[in-house]
Structure 1
Amino acid sequence: MINDKVFKAMSDPTRRKIIELLKERPMTAGEIASHFKHAQPTVSRHLNVLKNADLVVDQREGTYVVYRLNTSVIQGWLSWLLDKFGGGSSNEQDEE
């Protein structure tokens, strides 16, 4: 079962943009914030929502906190979406 927190997290365009940024590479909060007009605390709140949904993990590296995608949760969410709304499984496509 997909966690409802994932849907809440992915419902916001700023958080979706953060996911897109982190898809390219891990980043610090400051690096992420530089892509937005929002103040740093607003970006930090968005990062916390993503962390609470397990979409993003953070790790302290020296004086910085680096954020990375939790790709297994994202893959699970996408797989669930395709299964529920994708119009059929690969088995059905093989039968055609």
Structure 2
Amino acid sequence: MTDTVSDVFEALAHPTRRQILQDLKGGELAAGEIASRFSASGPTISRHLGVLRNAGLVTERRDANRILYSLVGDRLALSVGDFLSTVCPEQIVLRTVRKRGSSAPSAATS
């Protein structure tokens, strides 16, 4: 059994993979579009995409002869959030306070 949180942090360890995630924030991109943004070779970018996919941070779908990649933002947020909650217990309290604050009516709307 693999440690999926370790996979996420391993994926985040490389600046190219972090940049790919930032690029995908704007929406789905074809593998060729992603590769064109880097000076690295196509196979190198493909390996980076494989690491991100194996970590569950991106999904892929085929459209004819293209492979399109999308960000799985919840996966990243949950993995990093869980880790931070473990090492920074005050984050749990802050998150609870924020949830209560966002569900309560604001003074401007009252």
- Taking structure 1 as the reference length, the TM-score comes to 0.84
The Cα of 1:39 is off from its aligned counterpart by 0.6
Give secondary structure in 2 for the equivalent of 1:24: coil
2:65 equivalent to 1:63 = yes
Q: Distance in 1 between matches of 2:88 and 2:18?
A: 20
Report if the CA contact (8 A) 1:55-1:73 is conserved.
yes
**Number of corresponding residues:** 94
Report if the CA contact (8 A) 1:2-1:80 is conserved.
no
2:50 equivalent to 1:48 = yes
- Over the aligned positions, Cα root-mean-square deviation in angstroms equals 2.1
The Cα of 1:40 is off from its aligned counterpart by 0.5
The percent of aligned pairs where both chains have the same amino acid is 35
The Cα of 1:74 is off from its aligned counterpart by 1.1
Structure 1 runs of 4+ aligned residues shifted over 6 Å read none
- 2:10 aligns with 8
The Cα of 1:46 is off from its aligned counterpart by 0.3
- Taking structure 2 as the reference length, the TM-score comes to 0.74
Larger relative contact order (CA 8 Å, sep ≥ 6):
1
Structure 1 gap ranges (5+): none
Larger Rg: 2
